Amino acid sequence: MIELQTAWGWQVGLYLFLGGLGAGTFAAATVLSLVRRKRHRRALAVSYWVAVACIAVGLLSLLAEVVRPDRALLVWQSFSRPASWMALGAWGALAALVVFSITAFLATGKTSEVLSEVWEGHPGLRKRLRTAFSLVGLAPALFVALYTGMLLKEAQGVPFWDSWLLPCLFLASALGAGVNAVSAFAVITGSAEKGSRRRRRLFAGIVIGAVTVEGALLFVYVATMLQGGSGALTAQQFAARASAELLLFGSCSAPFWGLVVAGGLVAPLALSVSSFFLKSSAGWKLLALGALLTVAGDCTLRFLVLHVGMGADYLGQALLSIM
The CATH number of residue 140's host domain is: 1.20.1630.10
pLDDT at 171: 93
- Report d(CA 59, CA 299) in Å as an integer: 16
Whether residue 252 is predicted with pLDDT greater than 50 in this model: the reply is yes
pLDDT at 96: 92
pLDDT tens digits, 73-128? 555 454 445 556 667 777 888 899 999 999 998 888 665 444 555 555 556 777 88
Number of domains in the chain: 1
The arithmetic mean of pLDDT across residues 136-159, rounded, is 88
CA distances from 116 to 101, 105, 128, 195, 276 (A): 18, 13, 15, 29, 42
User: For residue 5, what are the contacts with CB-CB under 8 A and spacing of at least 6?
Assistant: 157, 158, 310, 313, 314
**Residue 267: other Cβ atoms inside 10 A:** 17
Closest CA to 188 of 40, 18, 293, 21: 40
**Which is more confidently placed, 158 or 99?**
99
Domain extent, residue 303, equals 2-322
- Report d(CA 144, CA 93) in Å as an integer: 6
Cβ atoms of 187 and 284 closer than 8 Å: yes
At residue 4 the predicted structure's pLDDT band, cuts being 50, 70 and 90, is: very low
- Report d(CA 23, CA 39) in Å as an integer: 23
Q: Is the pTM of this model over 0.85?
A: no
At residue 22 the predicted structure's pLDDT band, cuts being 50, 70 and 90, is: very high
- Report d(CA 263, CA 288) in Å as an integer: 13
Q: What is the CA radius of gyration of the chain?
A: 21
At residue 190 the predicted structure's pLDDT band, cuts being 50, 70 and 90, is: confident
pLDDT at 157: 76
Question: What residue spans of the chain are helical by DSSP H?
Answer: 2-5, 10-35, 41-65, 69-72, 85-107, 113-121, 125-153, 165-189, 197-226, 234-248, 253-255, 267-275, 280-322
The arithmetic mean of pLDDT across residues 230-252, rounded, is 83
CA distances from 46 to 58, 206, 287 (A): 18, 20, 18
End-to-end CA distance of the chain: 18
pLDDT at 315: 42
Whether residue 37 is predicted with pLDDT greater than 80 in this model: the reply is no
Per DSSP, 279 falls in state -
The arithmetic mean of pLDDT across residues 304-318, rounded, is 66
pLDDT at 301: 93
The arithmetic mean of pLDDT across residues 136-153, rounded, is 90
pLDDT tens digits, 258-306? 999 999 999 999 988 888 877 767 777 888 888 889 999 999 999 999 8
Whether residue 172 is predicted with pLDDT greater than 90 in this model: the reply is yes
pLDDT at 122: 59
pLDDT at 65: 62
- Report d(CA 89, CA 61) in Å as an integer: 15
